[in-house]
Structure 1
């Protein structure tokens, strides 16, 4: 979406900023980014 983000929260696990209500609410009511909630496509080396 063009323009500034309407909302911004930080992931409770990694601290990444999540814009425009795209966060995932966990079972423990924590706000997570999508990679922390479902696993990312990348792996640590």
Structure 2
């Protein structure tokens, strides 16, 4: 039963933390730099 709920929970957790991470990084990185790093991390995993 836990295997049935794991993917949706992980999806929501990762999606929510992406918004928080974007908000926290705004004062320190340009938008295109942030997106390049984010997509590079996503492509490498």
- TM-score scaled by structure 2? 0.21
More strand by share: 1
More helix by share: 2
Return the structure number with greater relative CO, CA threshold 8 A, min gap 6. Answer: 1
